[in-house]
Amino acid sequence: MRPLDGITVITLEHAIAAPFCTRQLADMGARVIKVERPGVGDFARGYDDRVNGLASHFVWTNRSKESLTLDVKHAEAGDILDRLLGEADVLVQNLAPGAAARLGLSYEALHARYPRLIVCDISGYGSDGPYRDKKAYDLLIQSESGFLSVTGTPETPVKSGCSIADIAAGMYAYTNILGALIQRGKTGHGCRIDISMLECMTEWMSFPLYYAFEGAAPPPRAGAAHATIFPYGPFVAGDGKAVLLGVQNEREWAAFCTTVLGQGALASDARFNSNTQRVAHQAELRELITAAFAGKTSAEVIGLLEEANIANARMSEMQDVWQHAQLAARQRWTEVATPAGTVPALLPPGVAPGEPVRMDPVPALGEHTDSILASLGYSAEAIATLRAGHAI
């Protein structure tokens, strides 16, 4: 038995934050019914065509769901949604600000009829405040939350290479829904969850915020290096490949000097005998490290770092991650079906190989419309009428 077997989730979602949340609920066994626009669907379906003609974002965030096409503004949509919600445990939505309320899908409108329903609203800035109606996308929230101000090079702020603000919101929505389900088991009542992307990203910014406490200077942008610890970051070996390493304390610094650099005297050099001094003189120290690595391959440097028990990593490209030896050894890859064929998929973190986890297909647009409506009591003739009237 999977943890969320028997739980039904209705989701009016698009893009990343809500779909990532609900995919994780589906992973744990929940039945997730994804309501999509007829003929178009979640606009993330059209982001790209890199996965056998399907969009990479969509394949990642939408496995194990059922796709129901429904024009939520159609006159017949209200009855369909009522029947769906009558059997649901959770409603998730990340529509444009105010759209769910205009459709009668706010928690306030639904709670009297469905007292056990958990309603999770995901938005850029939350349900009130001066930014309530402001449009929000991942990059914009990275900027508003201060993430861009501390990420990148000294000359140029740089966004995260993945949708970090969407992912943060999706994770907090997921965990709050799990908490709400536990709470409902004790009280019998549903609740409203108001997830703000800005608040999620601001929580993740807690170290830079506190570092800049009461007007202090924020951490400088340091590229792939650590802003306040040195040496910590990428260094290029003689074969042109970067090795990332991190020296965290004075014991490691001494081992690094002796075993990796072969220059034990540097450990007590006044310029480098504390992290504060190493940060202050990092340009000089970087030259020494680069010179020591120049005659070695990246594999040789990693070997010395391992010998000295210094934390290190390769600079993996995407193809390296697909082939990563650790993921293979732990049997983290499985497969999921899609409308364009079977593709590899990573097992959800925390789930051991062989444990019950849901890895069902990525749905085609509207694939489950007829079966869902039939389960709600609609006859074949009624379904045909709805289709002819462009309701579904």
Q: Is the dihedral of CA 260, 263, 267, 269 positive or negative?
A: negative
Rounded to 5 degrees, φ, ψ at 330 are -90, 10
| 88: amino acid identity, one letter | A
Alpha-carbon gap, residue 243 to 188, rounded angstroms? 54
Considering the candidates 166, 194, 239, 360, report the single residue annotated as catalytic. 166
Alpha-carbon gap, residue 34 to 240, rounded angstroms? 47
The helix/strand/coil state of 385 is helix
Widest distance between CA atoms in the chain: 86
Note if 166 is an active site residue: yes
Residue entry with tokens 């989730």: 9
Pairing, β 192-196 against β 65-69: unpaired
Exposure letters 347-378 (e unless 16+ CB within 10 A, then b): beeebeeeeebbbeebbebbbbbbebbeeeeb
Alpha-carbon gap, residue 277 to 300, rounded angstroms? 28
Question: Which residues are bridge partners to 345 per DSSP?
Answer: 334
The helix/strand/coil state of 318 is helix
The 3-state secondary structure of 39-108 reads: CCCCHHHHCCCCECCECHHHHHHCCCEEEEECCCCCCCHHHHHHHHHHCCCEEEECCCCCHHHHCCCCHH
Whole-number Cα distances in Å, 390 to 77, 166, 387: 11, 32, 5
The three-point CA angle 123-126-131 to 5° equals 100
Active site residues: 166
